[in-house]
Amino acid sequence: MNQEATAAFVAAVEDAYPDAFRTVIHYELVDGRLDHETLQVREDVRERYSDAERERAAAALVEDAAFEATDSTWHEHLPNDGPLHFSIRVFGSVSLIHCARGPDGGGFVASVDTRVSPFVQRLVEKLDEAGE
């Protein structure tokens, strides 16, 4: 997924869900090197973290996402219902979404408020109630 496709996808989602994305980081593997660019940072996130903190977090998230995209052994034994489109990690009030398009195709990592998805937010609440 190239940077223009990522930006178009984000714009289409935000037409229906304004300010849904906290941060969107596009990445590509170029000549064996991992490049990334932060495409969007929501204002409240920009105010909460310094430029250096955001860049450190972006680099770490992209490195993890790229490893996930290139190391497919973790999902080889899952039922094959089609291509893997997204992986989602939920951390209390923030969820991370990773969209990869193959080991050489790049992708993006986005953070959203967990409350954007009432279903996911309810799962987190029930897990907290269960004491896990």
Range of the domain at 38: 3-72+84-129
**Interatomic CA distance for residues 34 and 67, integer angstroms:** 10
Q: Are the C-beta atoms of residues 42 and 14 closer than 8 Å to each other? A: no
What pLDDT score does 88 carry?
Answer: 86
- Looking at the domain assignment, is residue 54 inside a domain? yes
CB within 8 A of 105, min separation 6: which ones? 1, 28
Question: What string of H, E and C letters represents the secondary structure of 4-55?
Answer: HHHHHHHHHHHHHCCCCEEEEEEEEEECCEEEEEEEEECHHHHHHCCHHHHH
Separation CA 90–CA 55 (nearest Å):
21
- Structural domain contains residue 79: no
Cα angle 15, 19, 21; round to 5:
100
- Asked whether residue 77 is domain-assigned, the answer is no
Cβ distance 114 to 93 under 8 Å? yes
Q: Is 89 inside any structural domain? A: yes
Q: How confident is the model at residue 124, as a pLDDT?
A: 82
Tell me, rounded to whole angstroms, the distance of Cα 85 from its chain centroid. 12
Q: Considering the entire predicted model, what is its pTM?
A: 0.81
Number of domains in the chain: 1
CATH number of the CATH domain containing 51: 3.30.450
For each successive 10 residues of the chain (132 residues), what is the average pLDDT?
Answer: 86 87 90 88 94 92 76 63 77 86 74 84 84 64
The Cα-based distances of 28 to 42, 61, 63, 70, 116 in angstroms read 22, 13, 11, 12, 27
What is the predicted pLDDT for the residue at 89?
Answer: 87
